[in-house]
Amino acid sequence: MGRARASTKETAEEALPPELARGLDDFLEALRVESGLAKNTLSAYRGDVSRFLRSARDAGVRRWRQVDTELVVAHLEELRARGAAEASVARALSALRMCMRHLLQENQLAADPLARLAGPRLRRSLPHVLDRLEVERLLAVPGSSWRALRDRALLEVLYACGARISEAVNLATTAIEPSLRVLVLRGKGGKTRVVPLGARARTALEQWLREGRPAVLRGRKSEAVFLSRSGRPFDRGSGWRVVKAAAARAELSGDVSPHWLRHSFASHLLEGGADLRAVQEMLGHASIATTEIYTHLDAEHVLSLHRLYHPRG
């Protein structure tokens, strides 16, 4: 099936006029080599730019220099007419902006046709966050079986490090510092970062590594920290199911996901007075603007305390 999808993608791109196809390939190769973006991100850029180029081709465009602002605006309006969310439209425009800037640097464009085009104003929704008592309930995995030890260690790592679920389930034993004080997480684009491990997470992880994991491996070799019953490395879906089961057991409301623990990690650090830049580093955000959304959560927390305790709140 994957091969069929790839074949379909190649057929669609081969149908593009040669100059447009070459420019697209050059742009994607530059992103891959220079930016180190993840495969999923590169695939999203390819899809967004390819859709525009097919629309441009149907309008008679054969060369990059024929692309103008009106053509891009018409494409974005077409996306909206097809029911695309405003966030999807903004992402498509962002991909086209990056592509045009690249082509301008490569002298394939005389001017950037999107230089004066404003993007849609998006209202950023605040992420879902658990309060401290809810986190405690979520992390309270009962029992001492190998499964309980594994699930408790995984949940503790997600909350203690603010790890993405893919970073946690792909954790290797070589990424654990011997004293269990820090973990080395491999994030988007293969970028690594070192994140401190708190005392409770350290205890849970140590117990899993010492008691639970050897019982699963039964003498076999594996570098994966988190394992399934058969001894295979955990995958993203398995990690999600651990979180979902814990949320159901804790009777938490809402569609709790692993990312809620990541959001809670950041929000609780800022509530406790952590530096925003330090939180950015621990989350692995490329831009501090991404991390700043948690300051709004912190402000909401302060306002709620004021309303609760101030005589004129």
Tens of pLDDT along 114-155? 888 776 665 556 678 899 999 999 999 899 999 999 999 999
User: Encoding tokens for residue 268?
Assistant: 């609780």
Q: Is 164 assigned a catalytic role?
A: yes
Over 60: is that where the pLDDT of 300 sits? no
Catalytic residue among 188, 236, 244, 301: 188
Q: Please report the pLDDT score of residue 29 as a whole number.
A: 87
Which of 32, 137, 244, 285 is catalytic? The answer is 285
**Among the options 46, 150, 263, 294, which is catalytic?**
294
Query: pLDDT tens digits for 261-270?
Result: 999 999 888 8
- Residue of 102, 150, 164, 193 marked active site: 164
pLDDT greater than 60 at residue 12? no
pLDDT at 212 exceeding the cut of 60: yes
> How much is the average pLDDT of 168-179?
91
CB 176 within 8 A of CB 183: yes
Cite the residue boundaries of each domain of the chain with CATH code 1.10.443.10.
132-309
Annotation marks residue 124 as catalytic:
no
Q: Where in the chain is the domain with CATH 1.10.150?
A: 2-105
Just give the CATH number of 132-309. Answer: 1.10.443.10
pLDDT at 306 (0 to 100): 46
- pLDDT attached to residue 19: 92
Residue 8 has pLDDT above 80, yes or no: no
Q: Rounded mean pLDDT of the chain?
A: 84
Residue 65 has pLDDT above 80, yes or no: yes
Which of the residue ranges 48-52, 188-192, 193-197, 216-220 would you say has the lowest mean pLDDT? 188-192
The arithmetic mean of pLDDT across residues 212-225, rounded, is 94
Domain 2-105 listed as CATH 3.30.70: no
User: What are the tens digits of pLDDT across the range 20-49?
Assistant: 999 999 998 888 776 666 677 788 889 999
